[in-house]
Amino acid sequence: MPRPPILKTVEVFASIQGEGLRQGEPTLFIRFAGCNLRCAFCDTKYAWEGGTETTAALLAARIDALRRRFPASWVALTGGEPYAQDLGGLIRLLRRKGLKVQVETNGTIFRPWKVDRLTVSPKPRSYGCDPRSRRAADEVKLVVAKSLTLPILARIRREFPPSVPVLLQPESNAPWSMAKGRRLLERAARAGLGNIRLTVQLHKIYGLP
Ligand code: SF4
């Protein structure tokens, strides 16, 4: 019988989803170690290397234990880049337990696993994604970094289905980034680009992990 894949995580915790359209909902998080990108603005650089080795069964047991104290119905698999690891078995296990699974990915690695919400966050410099990630996305999360311009936003808007919202998320809620996001939204609206919205990182406002 094949051995279950070894997974590497940096943290497992209960909190409130602070980003994207699920913002404000109680959520259990598994943050996976390792990322194939190196974004200058990354606020989880501690997840780039290392991590604790575990298995899907052990992670599911930790989620069960957390859920007894914090009865959330969603699990967010984040990172790092969660899809750099073999999470198919874990996702099936969590969904069999009746949990809804959200994956937050940079979109460069596509996986065919069925999830309940796929958040795709294209990153500089190329802002490139696997075309299958674009088709599977439920929402697009764009960090309003210095490198984000209206032509890049327009290109991303065209690349994803029109029904999929593009969320402009300020870099660490910094005032310059919030002001830039607002300007970009106004310019995008004048250019006829639809379904683009402003957001904030809610967990940072509430001081949550
Ligand atoms: S893709 Fe995400 S986790 Fe990876 S370096 Fe960029 S911001 Fe950090």
Among residues of the chain, what percentage have pLDDT more than 70?
100
pLDDT tens digits, residue range 78-111?
A: 999 999 999 999 999 999 999 999 999 999 999 9
Are 133 and 105 contacting, i.e. CB atoms less than 8 angstroms apart?
Answer: yes
CB atoms within 10 A of CB 172: 11
- Residue 161: give the domain boundaries: 7-206
pTM of the model: 0.97
Using DSSP, how many helices (H) and how many strands (E) does the chain show?
A: 6, 9
- Does residue 11 lie in a domain region? yes
Residue ID of nearest Cα to ligand 1 atom 6: 39
Q: What is the pLDDT of residues 104-152, one digit of tens each?
A: 999 999 999 999 999 999 999 999 999 999 999 999 999 999 999 999 9
Residue 1 counted as domain residue = no
DSSP letter at 116 equals S
- Decide if 165 is inside a domain: yes
H/E run at residue 11: strand 7-16
Structural domain total, the chain? 1
Q: Domain holding 166: CATH number? A: 3.20.20.70
**Residue to substitute in 45, 78, 106, 148 for testing ligand 1 pocket (most ligand atoms within 8 angstroms of CB):** 106
How many whole angstroms from 154 Cα to the centroid of ligand 1?
Answer: 22
**What pLDDT score was predicted for residue 131?**
98
Domain for residue 109, yes or no? yes
Report if residue 89 sits inside a domain.
yes
Atom of ligand 1 nearest to the CA of 41: 7
| Ligand 1 close to Cβ of residue 42 (< 6 A) | yes
Closest Cα partner for 145 from 127, 124, 162?
A: 124
Within-domain flag for 113: yes
2 falls within a domain: no
- Please give the Cα distance from 106 to 93 (Å, whole number): 23
Cα–Cα distance for residue pair 78/58, rounded to 1 Å: 17
Output the pLDDT for position 1: 73
pLDDT for the residue 57: 97
Q: How far is the CA of 39 from the centre of ligand 1 (A)?
A: 5
Tell me if 39 CB under 6 Å of ligand 1. yes
pLDDT score for 175: 97
Residue 31 counted as domain residue: yes
Give the tens place of pLDDT for each residue, 170-188: 999 999 999 999 999 999 9
